[in-house]
Structure 1
Amino acid sequence: MSDTPDSAVQTVRTYIEQHRAAFLDDLAEWLRIPSVSAQPAHAPDVRRSAEWLAAKLAETGFPVAEVWETGDGAGAPAVFAEWPSGDPAAPTVLVYGHHDVQPAAREDGWNTDPFDPVVLGNRLYARGAADDKGQVFFHTLGVRAHLALTGRTAPAVTLKLLIEGEEESGSTHFRELVERHRTRLAADAVIVSDTGMWSESTPTVCTGMRGVADCEITLYGPDQDLHSGAFGGAVPNPATAAARLVAALHDEDERVTIPGFYDDVAELTDRERELIAELPFDEASWLATAKSYATLGETGYTTLERVWARPTAEVNGIGGGYQGPGGKTIVPASAHLKLSFRLVADQDPDKIEAAVRDWVAARVPAGIRHEIVFGAPTRPCLTPLGHPALQAVARSMSTAFDGAKIRFTREGGSGPAADLRDVLGAPVLFLGISVPSDGWHAPNEKVELDLLLKGVEATAHLWSDLATALPAGPPTASPAAQSAAALR
């Protein structure tokens, strides 16, 4: 796939090797900052992490490197940096990542202190090594290798970075941040470095992530628990109503029964299904990782198609009535459900919420009242396989991996990428080098150092490729983004 001259590949690799030690020392220094956004006690550390990164980006060469407040100061700080190309016709690329991390403590099962980075062999162990500080930081060495390769004093594209500080705690203020700074964040493409690859031996590029909507449903029956002998069978039971809702959520083919749920789903093309089938997927190993004994899902789709490209409805929790030891013969006063819906390309979380509300209302029996509370939704995001920017990412990855064929994946999870696409009107591409064994959110998180440096290589080549693949000139918002802005 790659046609980059060998001399260019060697120039980049030589530069990386010369600066490898300093790069890893800097990364280790950043990893020592416990920037756990979900824990208020670490709020000063999250700020220190943002300030550290802004200073390091300025040292790297970015003329602009700023700490941005979120939520009018109530949220965790983000970092913005910009390095103009110097060529007024050059396109603009925005890199997204996050500098906050998941909670971690030695007693969770870590073999070492999670905030004292340790290199063992070819692996760097620390919280944030892969998710996401390592994958953010490879852009600092990557842009310098790009300059060494091209002889430029500024990147071939105008390069911007937006590094969030609260991704691990729900990106609560992220969309508002992007909307407030949309002019400064304007870009022709967005690169998200918060994803991974299929495996060390199968380099891949992610093309999309699912969205999510979630809700809690509370069902109320009598005003208090009742004696089941005196009242059972004669008054409505909210726990029974909850069980019936759950039972009705899927049909015999494991399809979601909510009317309109599939109306806007972007169906897989034959080519997309072929590309998924090409991946070396071992279902038995996948089940072993999940510690499950069988697969189950929508009829007519493979396991990977189900978790990447099909919408789902899951019961995350169900409860109500007496849960203690022994029996307690009652009709409970209330019951509750927690449901989540993973959404795919073209589905609108607002429409799904309305459909769920109507579906529940139609099935709650007389004498039971209910409340539904939805959380903040995340929209799905998908980049078409033929998009020229996606092909540039694949070519750069191929160059880094010695001309290997780059395959394409999706992610079953969700993230804020769609907010960047919707507000900025720019396509979102994913460039990540993490592998499943890196243990995101788990004890002993690590990153493979060889792969981390492959990320550096890929970005060193990417900016020149995108300079020709993307439209020239200052970025402008898409018609959809302009329309959305006009409504606000």
Structure 2
Amino acid sequence: MTKTPDSVVRSFIDQHEAAFLADLADWLRIPSVSADPQRAGEVRRSAEWLAAKLRETGFPVVEVWETDGLPAVFAEWPSGEAAAPTVLVYGHHDVQPAAREDGWDTDPFEPTTVGNRLYARGAADDKGQVFFHTLGLRAHLAGTGRSAPAVNLKLLIEGEEESGSPNFGALIRREADRLAADLVFVSDTGMWDGDTPTVCTGMRGKLDCQIDLAGPDSDIHSGSFGGAVPNPAATAAELAAALHDPDRRIAVPGFYDGAVELTEQERELFAKLPFDEQRWLATAKSHGTQGEAGFSTLERVWARPTAEVNGVWGGYTGPGTKTIVPAEAHLKLSFRLVAGQQPERIEQAIRDWVAARVPAGIRHTVRFGSITRPCLTPLDHPALRSTVRAMGRAFGQEILFTREGGSGPAADLQDVLGATVLFLGISIPSDGWHSINEKIELDLLRKGVETAAYLWGDLAENYR
């Protein structure tokens, strides 16, 4: 396959950029807030708008997929090449709530360009990062002279991501045959900053639970009975304190089983990033670092499992004193997981750990929420190398690597489809996801378009 000429791609983007940005602005005007039941119709309107635009782009198959909640959009464009890999691009078209009175400088649903920045809710998260694929695909076709993409290209654009994706798992299981792919590209992430283009190579998983502890049948007098019966509030505090050993390793037996360790290459690549710990602390609104011994701050938040006490409560917390042994106490815990860890095994390990530490006379229950699995792209994966080459052509500089400390629905696609997950995003931290004055940098948006234009040809040539 002939390499797409960069000059042809850039010329095509130049010619169509204004119309592309006008279309994006039209989409951003639709307040597709999935968390607001009164705007369910707007989320549907957003899905239908995108479906029409994907048909206009050239996709021969475009469908609005219904769920038990809000609709998703599916599109497919076969390559026509027998050996072409199949790629699924994931993103979402719903957005966070936003109103001028929240502190926005402009109307969040009236896109406003100021210099190199486009301000609107969804500009970065995630409509802008979904939409750059449309112009990128057209530039790919113009640069290669093809009438269809070099890969079998599919899109799945969800409508409930900002509401926790409550129906996403059921949707992808229902449509697994239609979604079958070799690779999944998630365009719902970002880069280190505007001067340091990066590719994300993984997201942690998440497991959360609530531990309920019951002692006496009611609050009882601490003078009459304290010191002679177990105290559930004290037990809650003991459990929270016992979560970590002195090196801040998680003390639940078996918790680290299977966890993929950082390689020296990955540690060296993380260390190349221009990380300012004091600036990071300011962003974290914190006054010191703490974590597992032997790992840097970035390694701790990107590539190591964690256990956090999200809340502890029980007993009397009002003014003055109330000398009681409380009847009950509670903890909320959350665990971030890395590749190789099995959430179901960890659930059982936590249940066993709690049971072993709760004293006689304290009844307990452990309730777990939904599971989000971790995902990781190996650094030597051929599709990651293609992504780095495509970004390098677009940005004209070295591409470094990050991970995401948070969690997302990408791992659901990995588990159901058995496909490798990769990340392609051009947003930066200052874009203000979920905040007031959300924006996207127009020069970086263009780099996303250009990256997509180069990526599909590179994958077709080098994946197999």
Match of 1:470 in 2: 463
Match of 1:453 in 2: 446
Q: Secondary structure at the match of 2:334?
A: strand
Letter in 2 for 1:378: T
Match of 2:392 in 1: 398
Which whole-Å deviations, capped at 9, do the CAs of 1:435-487 have from their partners, x for residues lacking one?
1111111111111111011000000011100111223xxxxxxxxxxxxxxxx
Q: Taking structure 1 as the reference length, what is the TM-score of the superposition?
A: 0.92
Do structure 1's residue 60 and structure 2's residue 80 form an aligned pair?
no
Matches within 5 A, 1:235-274: 235-274=229-268
Q: Give structure 2 stretches of 5+ with no counterpart.
A: none
The separation in 2 between residues aligned to 1:219 and 1:118, in whole angstroms, is: 52
Matches within 5 A, 1:282-301: 282-301=276-295
Do structure 1's residue 412 and structure 2's residue 405 form an aligned pair?
yes
The separation in 1 between residues aligned to 2:20 and 2:319, in whole angstroms, is: 57
Structure 1 residue 356: Cα displacement: 0.7
Match of 1:39 in 2: 36
Q: Secondary structure at the match of 2:408?
A: coil
Do structure 1's residue 382 and structure 2's residue 376 form an aligned pair?
yes
Q: 1:435 to 1:316 in 2, by over 3 A?
A: same
The separation in 2 between residues aligned to 1:333 and 1:443, in whole angstroms, is: 43
Matches within 5 A, 1:141-290: 141-290=135-284
Matches within 5 A, 1:118-133: 118-133=112-127
Matches within 5 A, 1:297-376: 297-376=291-370
Q: Secondary structure at the match of 2:5?
A: helix
For 2:436, which of 427, 439, 443 is the aligned residue?
443
Structure 1 residue 333: Cα displacement: 1.6
Structure 1 residue 254: Cα displacement: 0.5
Of stretches 147-156 and 389-398 in structure 1, the one that deviates more from structure 2 is 147-156
How many residues align? The count is 464
Which whole-Å deviations, capped at 9, do the CAs of 1:109-158 have from their partners, x for residues lacking one?
22222222211111111111111111001001110111111111111111
Do structure 1's residue 76 and structure 2's residue 70 form an aligned pair?
yes
Q: Is the 8 A contact 1:188 1:470 kept in 2?
A: no
The separation in 2 between residues aligned to 1:104 and 1:361, in whole angstroms, is: 44
Do structure 1's residue 430 and structure 2's residue 427 form an aligned pair?
no
Structure 1 residue 5: Cα displacement: 10
Q: Is the 8 A contact 2:111 2:118 kept in 1?
A: yes
Letter in 2 for 1:398: G
Letter in 2 for 1:298: E
Match of 1:475 in 2: none
Structure 1 residue 272: Cα displacement: 1.0
Q: Is the 8 A contact 1:378 1:418 kept in 2?
A: yes
Q: Secondary structure at the match of 1:392?
A: helix
Do structure 1's residue 20 and structure 2's residue 3 form an aligned pair?
no
Letter in 2 for 1:410: R
Q: Secondary structure at the match of 2:308?
A: strand
Match of 2:82 in 1: 88
The separation in 2 between residues aligned to 1:314 and 1:462, in whole angstroms, is: 39
Q: Secondary structure at the match of 1:93?
A: strand
Structure 1 residue 330: Cα displacement: 2.2
The separation in 2 between residues aligned to 1:434 and 1:60, in whole angstroms, is: 23
Which whole-Å deviations, capped at 9, do the CAs of 1:166-210 have from their partners, x for residues lacking one?
112222221221121111111121111011111111111111100
Q: Secondary structure at the match of 2:449?
A: helix
Match of 1:483 in 2: none
Which whole-Å deviations, capped at 9, do the CAs of 1:231-277 have from their partners, x for residues lacking one?
32222221111000001001110110000011111011111111111
Q: Is the 8 A contact 2:51 2:73 kept in 1?
A: yes
Q: 1:357 to 1:202 in 2, by over 3 A?
A: same
Match of 1:477 in 2: none
Q: Secondary structure at the match of 1:100?
A: coil
